[in-house]
Structure 1
Amino acid sequence: MTHPLNLSLRVSALLLSLGLASACSNRADDPGVEYAPEMYESIPYEPLKQTNFNTVNSFGINERTPANGTIPRGKLSYFDHIPKDSVGVAERRLRNPFSYTKANLEEGKVLYTRICSHCHGEQGDGQGPVGLKFKGVPNYSAGAYKTMNDGHIYHVIQWGRNRMMPHGSIVNPEERWKIAMYVRVLQRGEGPDALSKLVAKGPTSTANDSTEMTDRANQGPVGQAQAGKASDTPGQGGAVSPNGSGVTHTPGN
């Protein structure tokens, strides 16, 4: 080894030792010199606070935009990618995450009366004040309307159909499901009085119904993280409850 190279190595070792020594201290509260300290003690940012140097996120805010198709945990049955003109797909794929309890049906009745009855009537016969003026509002207990399942009703509430305007911006997903449940009451042709009967028996038809709490093929019980397998179509459903009542059935219970 040549003399200049040997001297260079000695000087480098000395400088390294001095650098390490400068990072030490006899004070317990002195962290010394840290390399890349922000990696150990990150700077907290408010999610919606704008910064002058953030050129990646939308509007310069610190909160990252979720990836396309992101679904909040526990909301798998609330979000779907079914096009607005595909109500037939909604009939087959969407499943109501709420059970037919008295509380849910009564809440659906309140929402229906407040938002829907001016057109569809309190009895669901299309004889509301607006329905009488403009005509053409269907009777839920007549023809094909009395066989609509929860998924069909939910989809129409969200996107509208024919002359009915979309109501997705007016009622959130939970409210849509509960309104759909109350429409199932009115399909019986007995008006609001049929509510207690539906609580006991569930929907009149369960062959293509949307009242099961869980999708056994693709998801676990609503409200739990879906760590194992995700559905291609959120809210996609499986079989109806084994007793044919449409009342919630969670495997293992």
Structure 2
Amino acid sequence: MTHSLKLGLQASAIVFASVLSTGCNRADDPGLEYAPEMYYPIPYEPLKQMNTNTVNPMGLNERTPVVGTVPLGKLNYYSHIPKDSVGIAERTLKNPAPYTKENLQEGQTLYTRNCQHCHGEQGDGQGPVAAKFKGVPSYSAGAYKNMNDGHIYHVIQWGKGRMMPHGSQVAPDERWRIAMYVRMLQQGKGPEGMADFLKARGQDSGLSSESTDGQNQAPVQEAQADKESVTPGQGGVEARNGTNLSSETAKPQN
């Protein structure tokens, strides 16, 4: 009797150990979960698919946006200028931000994060990545020193040559500030040329007055590329669908 009980206990231990071993090795078995309602949401979440969605087509939580629509607040990400049309960007895109010391300093920070590893601190194409992969140009050499803001903005968005697109990584307003800083690096003086750059535009390097450079600044009271109003009609001006009616002609129609 004692011998049989001993054999039974050993057999049970072996079976129990094999079950535990098998259960732990299964990739699709999360094991025992306590309070699962803390992990699995009751409402549908677009980025989490637990079960078949009985409301949406195809049973998916995340639905495909309607063709031709743009998410709210993302219109600036779509300039509608093709990748291979940098010439159009040069002629049509205008920098909506003023050339100030603050904007240049922000552009320097963004340039350090996103561009310096290839283009170098001085903008001479001698960054650590360029040391490994040759062919990164200098901003102050050849045709590169004449690139305007629209050209630089477009290249940041779409890339050029071996440079990959950065449109998904750098927001539109940040691209303009990087473009400002690149324009400064075109002088060939590196970051130390900021004071001279501001002085050449009639500014005190210690102040933040707006630039008077009409070539790169946006005209006042005109629609700008890549710029839209999120809340039109504010500021006490009634929207009239593009028609500026006078008080005499803006009478109700019978």
Q: TM-score range by the shorter chain?
A: 0.5 to 0.7
Matched-pair contact (CA < 8 Å) for 1:77–1:95: no
1:170 maps onto 2:169 in alignment:
yes
**3-state SS of paired residue (1:177):** helix
Deviations 1:50-79 (A, max 9, x none): 995644799456x99466154746x66553
CA distance in 2, matches of 1:217, 1:110: 29
Distance 1:179 1:57 in 2: 43
- The equivalences for 1:57-96 within 5 A come to 59=60, 65=65, 68-70=68-70, 72=72, 77-96=76-95
CA–CA distance in structure 1, aligned partners of residues 78 and 92 of structure 2 = 12
Aligned partner of 2:20 in structure 1 is: none
Structure 1 residues 11-70: Cα deviation after superposition (integer angstroms, max 9, x where no partner): xxxxxxxxxxxxxxxxxxxxxxxxxxxxxxxxxx99969995644799456x99466154
| Aligned residue in 1 for 2:222 | 216
Tell me whether 135-144 or 47-56 shows the greater mean CA deviation.
47-56
Classify 1:77/1:165 alpha carbon distance in 2 versus 1 (closer, same or farther; 3 Å): closer
The verdict on how the C-alpha distance between 1:76 and 1:131 changes in structure 2, with shifts beyond 3 A counting, is same
* Contact 1:71 1:79 (8 Å CA) reproduced: no
Q: Which amino acid aligns with 1:212?
A: A
Aligned positions of 1:16-165 closer than 5 A = 54-55=55-56, 59=60, 65=65, 68-70=68-70, 72=72, 77-165=76-164
Kindly provide the amino acid, as one letter, of the partner of residue 216 in structure 1. Answer: E
Aligned residues: 181
Q: How far apart, CA to CA, are the structure 1 residues paired with 2:58 and 2:222? A: 38
- Normalised TM-score (structure 1): 0.58
SS of the aligned residue for 1:107 comes to: helix
User: For residues 71 and 117 of structure 1, do their structure 2 counterparts lie closer, same or farther at Cα, with a shift above 3 Å needed?
Assistant: same
Q: TM-score scaled to structure 2, two decimals?
A: 0.57
Note the C-alpha offset of 1:174.
1.9
Maintained 8 Å contact 1:57/1:65: no
Q: Deviations over 1:77-111 (max 9, x none)?
A: 55311111111111112222222121111111011
| Structure 1: tracts of 5 or more residues without a match | 1-44, 230-253
Which position in structure 1 is the counterpart of 2:15?
none
Partner-residue secondary structure (3-state), 1:196: helix
- Give the equivalent residue in structure 2 for 1:244: none
Q: Is the 8 A contact 2:145 2:186 kept in 1?
A: yes
The aligned amino acid for 1:68 is G
CA distance change for structure 1 residues 198 and 52 in 2, over 3 Å: closer, same or farther?
same
Cα distance in 2 between the residues matched to 1:46 and 1:136: 50
Q: 3-state DSSP class of the match of 2:68?
A: coil
Please report how far the alpha carbon of residue 213 of structure 1 lies from its aligned counterpart in structure 2 after TM superposition. Answer: 6.3
- In structure 2, the CA distance between the partners of 1:172 and 1:57, relative to structure 1 (3 Å rule), is farther
Contact 2:44 2:61 in 1 (8 A): no
The structure-2 alpha-carbon separation of the partners of 1:125 and 1:52, relative to structure 1 and needing over 3 Å to count, comes to closer
Structure 2 equivalent of residue 196 of structure 1: 195
Q: Distance in 1 between matches of 2:142 and 2:213?
A: 14
Pairwise CA distance, 1:125: 0.7
